[in-house]
């Protein structure tokens, strides 16, 4: 949980909060492009064959996919949205002067590290990031490159948090957690606001526009934010997770009616190895807000990765293609889409490519095994 002491108010998790957040952070982020791909549209509506990664070429019914390219976002991932929003909010309080002096701190070995480092640099405040000693060298260099001080820790959650506590004791920095915080959730939701606007503009006013969005779910910031952004609009929201070693904690938690708090997995979708956070769970477990969460195998994730690189010409990290893998290969999800199509006569489905931070060496390795 976040250190909320310094915050005067907690924002309500509503679409209005997301719209206001979007106004606030727009000057600091990219309005990332939305792409389409006829080949993948065809694959997504073809009857599933018994070889799951080789769907047939003939469409069963028309489905129109739209891809929001947050892999082309600043720092290469949607995480800059939440981090920027959290920093802007901190500087919009009576304690702003104190925040400018003490700065912010987080623990992350992933995209949130670079996101907070950049957001803090843009705001001109100090930033400390606690990273496990075993973090990838390029991630450490990237975080330092955005001007953050990197402090090392062991790799368990407890070891990381202990070092964060030391940093806070030393300099009073405010903790900006990677996903489990309303400001983060609301910030991540801004991608959905743009997405709806952009697809609306592409299809014209006579169209129904985007009808559903599917995003990946690790800690749940992006999924919960998307759900909050879509609440009341009629746009349905779905989540996507890897299956390996029980990485589908959210899907399992929903089935059991209880948040799962520990996950230990080595799924290739390394951004999705964490269990869903508390704030995030409150949103995601509300069936009015999230229609369903679905999961896929490692093989299916790699097949989607290869397809995106070869056919769409964009670099997406494994975590970022999990929603597309669900769309292409998950039978329950396909049945749900078929039902939507019967109800609404067409399906305009948005897929968020959440990030593109994968080294070329890793990419070569992954594609060799896909």
Give least dist CB 229 to its own copies, A: 22
Closer residue to its own copies in complex, CB, 114/188: 114
Of residues 244-303, those binding its own copies (CB under 8 A):
none
The one catalytic residue in 68, 74, 79, 236 is 79
| 363 is a site residue for its own copies (CB under 8 A) | yes
Q: Which is nearer to its own copies, 36 or 261 (CB)?
A: 36
**For residues 268 and 365, is the Cβ–Cβ distance under 8 A?**
no
Among 18, 43, 76, 241, binds its own copies (CB under 8 A): 76
Q: Which DSSP string corresponds to 285-296?
A: T-TTT--EEEEE
Question: Rounded to an integer, what distance in angstroms lies between the CA atom of residue 53 and that of residue 113?
Answer: 34
- Confirm or reject binding of residue 156 to its own copies (CB under 8 A): no
Q: Report in angstroms how near the CB of residue 367 gets to its own copies at its nearest.
A: 4
Closest approach, Cβ 76 to its own copies, in A, equals 6
Considering the candidates 17, 45, 108, 109, report the single residue annotated as catalytic.
109
Structure tokens at 9: 């108010």
Q: d(Cα 128, Cα 116) in Å, to the nearest integer?
A: 9
In sign, the C-alpha dihedral spanning 17, 19, 22, 23 is negative
Closest separation in Å from C-beta 86 to its own copies = 21
DSSP state of 355: B
Give the sheet arrangement for strand 104-107, strand by strand. Answer: 149-153, 127-132, 104-107, 174-175
Question: Contact at 8 Å (CB) between 356 and 316?
Answer: yes
Encoding tokens for residue 105?
A: 């701190």
Q: SS3 for 43?
A: helix
The HSE-up count of residue 245 (CA atoms within 13 Å, CB side) is: 13
Contact track, its own copies, 9-48, x by CB under 8 A: ---------------------x--x-xx-x----------
Nearer to its own copies, 122 or 300 (CB): 122
For the question of residue 79 being annotated catalytic, the response is yes
Report 300-329 residues binding its own copies (CB under 8 A).
Answer: 306, 309-310, 312-316
Give the end-to-end CA distance of the chain in Å, rounded to a whole number: 38
Among 29, 40, 65, 72, binds its own copies (CB under 8 A): 72
Q: Residue 13's closest CA among 200, 167, 226? A: 226
Count, residues near its own copies per rule CB under 8 A:
25
Q: How far apart are CA 176 and CA 104, in angstroms?
A: 7
* Residue closer to its own copies (CB basis): 187 or 320: 320
Rounded Cα–Cα distance for residues 126 and 159 (Å): 23
Distances (CA, A) of 231 to 19, 225, 294: 12, 10, 20
Residue closer to its own copies (CB basis): 112 or 181: 112
**Residue 364 is a binding residue for its own copies (CB under 8 A):** yes
The DSSP string of 318-350 is GGGGHHHHHHHH-HHHHHHHHHHHHHHS--EEE
For its own copies, which is the closer residue by CB, 173 or 316?
A: 316
| Minimum distance from residue 66 beta carbon to its own copies (Å) | 13
The CB-of-120 to its own copies minimum distance in angstroms stands at 16
What is the rounded distance in angstroms from the CA atom of residue 107 to the CA atom of residue 263? 18
Q: Find the shortest distance in angstroms from Cβ 266 to its own copies.
A: 23
Active site residues: 79, 109
**Site residues for its own copies per CB under 8 A:** 30, 33, 35-36, 38, 71-72, 74, 76, 306, 309-310, 312-316, 356, 359-361, 363-364, 367-368
């Amino acid at each position: 949980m976040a250190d909320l002491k310094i915050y005067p108010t907690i924002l309500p998790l509503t679409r209005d909060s997301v719209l206001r957040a979007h106004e606030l952070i727009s000057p600091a982020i990219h309005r990332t492009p939305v792409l389409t791909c006829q080949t993948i549209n065809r694959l997504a509506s073809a009857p599933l064959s018994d070889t799951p990664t080789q769907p047939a070429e003939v469409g069963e019914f028309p489905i129109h996919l739209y891809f929001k390219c947050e892999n082309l976002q600043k720092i290469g991932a949607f995480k800059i949205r939440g981090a920027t929003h959290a920093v802007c909010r901190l500087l919009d309080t009576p304690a702003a002067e104190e925040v400018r002096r003490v700065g912010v701190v987080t623990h992350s070995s992933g995209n949130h590290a670079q996101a907070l480092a950049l957001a803090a640099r843009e705001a001109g405040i100090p930033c400390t990031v606690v990273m496990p000693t075993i973090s990838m060298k390029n991630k450490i260099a990237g975080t330092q490159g955005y001007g953050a001080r990197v402090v090392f820790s062991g790799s368990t959650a407890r070891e990381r948090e202990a070092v964060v506590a030391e940093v806070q004791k030393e300099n009073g920095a405010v903790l900006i957690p990677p996903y489990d915080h309303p400001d983060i959730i609301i910030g991540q939701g801004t991608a959905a606001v743009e997405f709806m606007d952009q697809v609306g503009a592409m299809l014209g006013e006579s169209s129904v526009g985007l009808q559903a969005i599917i995003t990946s779910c690790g800690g749940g910031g992006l999924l919960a934010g998307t759900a909050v952004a879509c609440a009341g609009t009629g746009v349905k929201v779905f989540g996507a997770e890897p299956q390996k070693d029980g990485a589908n904690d959210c899907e399992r938690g929903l089935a059991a009616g209880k948040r799962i708090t520990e996950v230990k997995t080595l799924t290739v979708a390394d951004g999705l190895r964490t269990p869903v956070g508390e704030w995030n769970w409150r949103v995601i477990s509300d069936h009015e807000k999230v229609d369903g969460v679905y999961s896929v195998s490692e093989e299916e994730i790699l097949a989607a990765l290869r397809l995106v690189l070869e056919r769409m010409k964009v670099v997406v990290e494994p975590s970022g293609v999990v929603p597309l893998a669900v769309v292409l290969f998950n039978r329950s999800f396909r049945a749900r889409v078929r039902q939507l199509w019967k109800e609404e006569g067409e399906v305009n489905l948005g897929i968020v490519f959440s990030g593109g931070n994968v080294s070329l060496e890793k990419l070569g390795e992954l594609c060799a095994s896909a």
